[in-house]
Amino acid sequence: MRRLTSIALLTATLALAAPALAQVRAPDGAPNPTASSVNEEMLFKQDPKIHGRISIPNATAANLIQPQGREWRAFRESWMPWIGALAVLGMIAALGLFYFTRGRIRLEHSEESGKKILRFNGFERFSHWMTASCFIVLSLSGLNYIFGKRLLMPLIGPEAFASLAQYGKYAHIYLAWPFMLGVLFMLVLWVRDNIPGKIDWIWLKQGGGLIGDAHPSAGRFNAGQKMVFWMVVGFGLAMSATGLMMIFPFAVTDINGMQAMQVIHSLIGVVFIAGILAHIYIGSLGMEGAYDAMGSGEVDLAWAKVHHDLWVKEQQAKTASGPQLGRGQVPAE
Amino acid sequence: MARMKFLCDADRCIECNACVTACKNEHEVPWGINRRRVITLNDGKPGERSVSMACMHCTDAPCAAVCPVNCFYTTADAVVLHSKDLCIGCGYCFYACPFGAPQYPRVGNFGSRGKMDKCTYCSGGPEADLSVAEYEKYGSNRLAEGKLPLCAEMCSTKSLLAGDGEMIAQIYKERVIKRGYGSGAWGWKTAYRETIAI
């Protein structure tokens, strides 16, 4: 019985397949060679891009048609300028609004004003500023890829703009290396002090001193600074990975992968720039006394006690002679 | 004015690669760069077809749209050309191009891209027609001499057609009607948003 069923099934299958096997003939009766030939429509149904074999030693040239290029174009030309403008200008507007409502966060004077405590040593500051200076050039040359032809080119003309963009491209490629090194240095230097803890949650709930006048406790880095640290590390590594793939195109991925890399690189890039704008604001204009930490490396002890009380206690406990005093400072008796 | 196009009749292409060689020789294209290439689909299987592909000189060209320095321009013959003086070699046009036409010489450290090179439809660049500067950067300008692209001119099976879009579409239509089959105008839908209806 089972055998009979299988024979019946086989016959039915053959009967169904028979018309497809029949030869389609040309008007003159010759066999039609395209009856089984590939065509564009059929290949696009199998795969979003048409790929074949090529005899030259260039694997990327074996793609015949990749219509995804048009989708990538739509992202780059229709979406990206708006996303970029919204991220960067939106952050500048938000910071402006914050400055005019909250104003500069002032240094609160106490009997310890004038005394200094070392916050960042020479190597820490070197790593920070190497990364920071590279970041500024990288972000400007990066934004130039999106906005240059729209804003700068009409002002300075195509020739001057093209040579500027050429130097911008060189700067973007070459300064990427010290930037990546800087991110790695900072990761090693500060990861210990940036592990999130319960205290960060309390800091966040109290508005971190940004909203209201509270001064929640914080260790060497408060929750806000930890967020900046993890943003720099996370985004920095993501930008490095995607950027390296664009410096070495097609080394690890195909054309659609390259398009995706560019999309990720540009999207993270503009959010990164917005985040760093906030970091620059609070580290300079936004808070009195904050800049010294990365400037001279020594901060006012009064400022440190208000903003990083737990860290100051820790530092004072480490040295029997009190706080680590900066150069030219007489220890208090 | 004509609307210049390429059409590869895949049912005639024998993958001899003469178009590739002719192009390289005519324009003294540097090592590692192929403005034109032949791709074989379904290689070794029934229904195998080879298609010669270069820049399709798209209507509303994606390369021109994504270029961060706007170095592309379209001629009166609808040929898409670019200026190597403006190009910065960023590689974006290759990501956008549906046909993989842009090529970059590898110069300097990290194999960083040099200025882009692509099919000019044998019509040079922004420099004065038939000048030495134009030849050095873009190769010969056959269109200025009243000739069509060499790849198509010397195609041994007349598979590759170049010329005014309507004219080559007409030639292709007549062929398809006469022989009774045709695998279509490869890439036309993507490049021109139209195909040849027969």
Partners of residue B89 in chain A, C-beta under 8 Å: 169
CA-CA distance, A216 to B12, in Å (whole number)? Answer: 79
Q: Domain range for residue A269? A: 119-318
Answer yes or no: do B181 and A169 touch at CB < 8 A: no
CA-CA distance, B37 to B195, in Å (whole number)? Answer: 22
Answer yes or no: do B96 and A73 touch at CB < 8 A: yes
Answer yes or no: do B183 and A39 touch at CB < 8 A: yes
**Tokens found for residue B6:** 């390429």
Residue B198 resides in a domain: no
Residue B197 resides in a domain: no
Q: How far is CA A294 from CA A119, A123, A198, A281, A326, in A?
A: 8, 11, 27, 14, 14
In sequence order, the 6+-apart residues with CB closer than 8 A to the CB of A100 are none
Contact assessment for residue A259 and residue A245, using Cβ atoms and an 8 Å cutoff:
no
CA B118 to chain centroid? 8
Ranges of residues in chain A with a pLDDT under 70 are: 1-36, 212, 320-333
Residue A244 resides in a domain: yes
A-chain residue closest to B33, CA distance: A58
In sequence order, the 6+-apart residues with CB closer than 8 A to the CB of B117 are B29, B30, B33, B35, B84, B102, B103, B104, B105
Chain B, residues 90-129, CB within 8 A of chain A, namely: 90-92, 94-100, 110-113
Strand residues in chain B grouped as ranges (E): 4-8, 37-41, 49-53, 72-74, 80-82, 160-164
* B66 compared with A19, residue with greater pLDDT: B66
Partners of residue B90 in chain A, C-beta under 8 Å: 145, 169
Which of B72, B47, B77, B60 is CA-nearest to residue B164?
Answer: B77
Residue A54 resides in a domain: no
What is the percent of chain B where pLDDT is above 90?
A: 82
Q: How far is B142 from chain A (nearest CA, A)?
A: 26
* B47 compared with A101, residue with greater pLDDT: A101
Contact assessment for residue A49 and residue A63, using Cβ atoms and an 8 Å cutoff:
yes
Answer yes or no: do B43 and A58 touch at CB < 8 A: no
Residue B179 resides in a domain: yes
Identify the CATH number of the domain in which residue A131 sits: 1.20.950.20
Q: Which of B32, B39, B98 sits opposite A62 (nearest CB)?
A: B39
In sequence order, the 6+-apart residues with CB closer than 8 A to the CB of B140 are B26, B27, B122, B124
A-B contacts (CB, under 8 Å): 161
Which of A288, A295, A241 is CA-nearest to residue A268?
Answer: A241
Chain B, residues 129-148, CB within 8 A of chain A, namely: none
Residue B8 resides in a domain: yes
Answer yes or no: do B98 and A258 touch at CB < 8 A: no
Say how many domains are in chain B. 1
Answer yes or no: do A64 and B99 touch at CB < 8 A: yes
> Is residue A116 helix, strand or coil?
strand
**Tokens found for residue B13:** 């292409």
Q: Which of B67, B68, B183 sits opposite A34 (nearest CB)?
A: B183
Which of A235, A240, A139, A127 is CA-nearest to residue A189?
Answer: A127
**Tokens found for residue A169:** 């491209």
Mutate to test the interface with B, among A23, A37, A41, A169 (most CBs of B within 10 A): A37
Q: Which of A37, A77, A249 sits opposite B91 (nearest CB)?
A: A249
In sequence order, the 6+-apart residues with CB closer than 8 A to the CB of A50 are A40, A43, A44, A63, A64, A65, A66, B41
CA-CA distance, A119 to A222, in Å (whole number)? Answer: 14
Chain B, residues 49-78, CB within 8 A of chain A, namely: 49, 51, 53, 62, 65-71
The predicted pLDDT at position A328 comes to 46
Residue A100 resides in a domain: no
Q: Domain range for residue B118? A: 4-192
Answer yes or no: do A149 and B67 touch at CB < 8 A: yes
**Tokens found for residue A43:** 């290949």
Give the model confidence (pLDDT) of B112-168 as tens digits: 788 999 999 999 999 999 999 999 999 999 999 999 999 999 999 999 999 999 999
The predicted pLDDT at position A89 comes to 98
The DSSP bridge partners found for residue A105 are A287
Answer yes or no: do B68 and A39 touch at CB < 8 A: no
The predicted pLDDT at position A7 comes to 52
Q: Which of B20, B66, B71 sits opposite A73 (nearest CB)?
A: B66
Give the model confidence (pLDDT) of B2-36 as tens digits: 899 999 999 999 999 999 999 999 999 988 899 99
In sequence order, the 6+-apart residues with CB closer than 8 A to the CB of A59 are A250
Residue B94 resides in a domain: yes
The pTM of the whole model exceeds 0.95 = no
B-chain residue closest to A147, CA distance: B68
The DSSP bridge partners found for residue A31 are A25
The predicted pLDDT at position A29 comes to 65
Identify the CATH number of the domain in which residue B71 sits: 3.30.70.20
Answer yes or no: do A40 and B180 touch at CB < 8 A: no
Query: Chain A contact for B157, CB < 8 A?
Result: no
Partners of residue B176 in chain A, C-beta under 8 Å: none
